Chains A and B, each alone.
Chain A
Amino acid sequence: QKEVEQNSGPLSVPEGAIASLNCTYSDRGSQSFFWYRQYSGKSPELIMSIYSNGDKEDGRFTAQLNKASQYVSLLIRDSQPSDSATYLCAVTSYQGGKLIFGQGTELSVKP
């Protein structure tokens, strides 16, 4: 079992819809959780971090964390074509500092 798993997609949503991206992780000791966005041919950029159970909102983005279920998600409200990218879930290992990445979910927002 991979340490961090994501649906590879592609996930296709219409413009204005809510896009829901999911991630599960295997290490119960994981403490920090991140969502990175990566446009084609570019480097990853951080869009959200979350450390405690519950929801964290930043503009159109909401990260949700459930440590009991070992599950973290990212919701994108009012999706725009500019949101079309690959979204990478990352989790710190129990040793701290090192990030373990999922394989990424490709999101396509259709006008």
Chain B
Amino acid sequence: NAGVTQTPKFQVLKTGQSMTLQCAQDMNHNSMYWYRQDPGMGLRLIYYSASEGTTDKGEVPNGYNVSRLNKREFSLRLESAAPSQTSVYFCASSEGGGRDTQYFGPGTRLTVL
């Protein structure tokens, strides 16, 4: 099992460009999450999908959109990238429910110039 995979691993964008970060899991998990991690800030939830067909905003959703394409895949889109979106982005998945463990992908390091 690959677990949670993310593409790309690294990306450099210019201000105003758009891109989509891809995430896939092969653990048959119901819930999927997108986080960003900035120095000294811990992990902050951008969007999550509790189950296929549903998405909800997290703590820092502005400037992002998501799509739960199917049970396996959850993508994060930046429509018009800004330097403030320079960060490391992690996708995670879990079975669902309050006690379950979230498993993280390897991350995407994004720089917006």
Which residues of chain B come closer than 8 Å to A43, judged between CB atoms?
Answer: 90, 104-107
Q: Are B31 and A101 closer than 8 Å at their CB atoms? A: no
Does A49 sit within 8 A of B, measured CB to CB?
yes
Q: Of A42, A44, A45, A98, which is within 8 A of B45 by CB?
A: A98
A contact set with B: CB distance below 8 Å: 4, 8, 31-32, 34, 42-46, 49, 51, 88, 90, 92, 96-104
- Which of A8, A44, A96 lies at the interface centre, i.e. has the most chain B CB atoms within 10 A of its CB? A44
Which residues of chain B come closer than 8 Å to A45, judged between CB atoms?
Answer: 104
Does B96 sit within 8 A of A, measured CB to CB?
yes
Which residues of chain A come closer than 8 Å to B96, judged between CB atoms?
Answer: 97
Cα distance A45–B104 in the bound complex, in angstroms? 7
Does B43 sit within 8 A of A, measured CB to CB?
yes
Q: Are B104 and A32 closer than 8 Å at their CB atoms? A: no
With A43-B106, A104-B42 given, can you name 9 additional A-B contacts, CB distance below 8 Å?
Answer: A31-B98, A43-B90, A43-B105, A43-B107, A49-B99, A92-B99, A98-B58, A100-B45, A101-B44
